[in-house]
Structure 1
């Protein structure tokens, strides 16, 4: 009997989420400068123009990456709203940022340096403010505290991520200024300072 020809394998369907995940893998492997639509498409086995079905431009691709990085933080799912103390919520939030920077050091700065008004970032920040308010802070204190801790975490962790490969060559004692143990000590210091100046000091919130 004549052999039956096998039907060609169905081409996998690409989604915006899968595209962002592939872009993160590319960045972690080859660096942010290597992220181009052509290179990403080639790695996935698609024509470059096919990617524009899912993202409008490279900037939109960056938004998709940032959205996925926020999702990977896993914030907001640990406790029902209103059950956490604000200090513990800040500590958990900064810990999640640290863990993301460790897991994805080259991609992390896309989230850390993303403008507040971009589509993925604004809802994330508003949700964080809402959790801080539910944890006992008034709106003004919640916004100020978020601004301060975000500035600390973003600045420290971007510098750490960019310098981690050269830290071993730095002079003894200097490299420790950028290590993650110092970041964790900074978290404790910032929480204590915020508690003393913005919460107990009179801006607003339950002590």
Structure 2
């Protein structure tokens, strides 16, 4: 291609893998992860497609490296366990879940990759995930939970927050509905009088999200975990 719109190509080997990953994230952020391809990435970076394959043998390898970077970036914002008193497990899990919600709500594509793209995890990314599981399990067993109970507590909290974030993300993508008493405009008051009463007096959101809803659900999980722990002692 020639002309004023042409973009000169870089010579093979003139770009390192991290720069390619930067470009892949830029392109996926703009066009969506499903639309990311090796030719489109090469064009975005001003490279020949063979230069991409020089560093990443397949799209699957590229996606696996993107997943690892996303996990490390998102994970760096999560609360760590070093120096944590296992007897403060409830406070830690509350902080973990609350931070998880905030980080995954703000991280956009990074969070989407870590949350929804399990099929693209390579060996290194999978090992990264399992090491995090191991740390959480070690902490919860030190707190007194049986191994399997600690696993199910962690599963319950993680899946709860994941589902909550997905619902909140979808609401924002679709255009946030009205909140507060404005939601009455969505209701047929005659057929849903209880909902109308609830919306009129409580700060609920009819798509089931909101801070109060999140805290209530999280406390239910933690209360039950505490009951199980006390019952086993």
RMSD: 3.7
Alignment of 1:31-50 (within 5 A): 31-50=32-51
Q: Is the 8 A contact 1:156 1:178 kept in 2?
A: no
State the TM-score, normalized to the length of structure 2.
Answer: 0.65
Q: Which runs of 5+ in 2 are unaligned?
A: 1-9, 187-203
1:176 match: secondary structure? coil
Tell whether 2:147 aligns with 1:157. Answer: no
Q: Distance in 1 between matches of 2:56 and 2:219?
A: 43
Q: Is the 8 A contact 1:27 1:107 kept in 2?
A: no
Report the more deviating stretch, 157-166 or 171-180: 171-180
Q: 1:121 to 1:176 in 2, by over 3 A?
A: farther
- Aligned residue number for residue 224 of structure 2: 197
Q: Is the 8 A contact 2:27 2:41 kept in 1?
A: yes
Tell whether 2:89 aligns with 1:115. Answer: no
Which one of the candidate residues 123, 126, 129 is aligned to 1:124?
Answer: 129
The alpha-carbon deviation at position 187 of structure 1 amounts to 4.5
State the TM-score, normalized to the length of structure 1.
Answer: 0.72
- Aligned residue number for residue 58 of structure 2: 57
Q: Distance in 2 between matches of 1:129 and 1:31?
A: 32
- Aligned residue number for residue 148 of structure 1: 156
Q: Distance in 1 between matches of 2:226 and 2:70?
A: 30
- Aligned residue number for residue 80 of structure 1: 82
Q: Distance in 1 between matches of 2:206 and 2:126?
A: 29
Q: Distance in 1 between matches of 2:61 and 2:95?
A: 29
Between 1 and 2, higher relative CO (CA 8 Å, sep ≥ 6) is seen in 1
The alpha-carbon deviation at position 179 of structure 1 amounts to 8.3
| Structure possessing the higher radius of gyration over alpha carbons | 2
The one-character-per-residue Cα deviations of 1:128-181 (angstroms, maximum 9, x if unpaired) are: 44235325244222211221122122222233323313233568437934587x
Q: 1:90 to 1:99 in 2, by over 3 A?
A: same
Report the more deviating stretch, 70-79 or 138-147: 70-79
Report the more deviating stretch, 126-135 or 76-85: 76-85
Q: 1:121 to 1:201 in 2, by over 3 A?
A: same
Q: Which runs of 5+ in 1 are unaligned?
A: 1-7
Q: 1:58 to 1:32 in 2, by over 3 A?
A: same
Which one of the candidate residues 95, 98, 101 is aligned to 1:98?
Answer: 101
Q: Distance in 1 between matches of 2:55 and 2:102?
A: 29
Corresponding pairs, count: 196
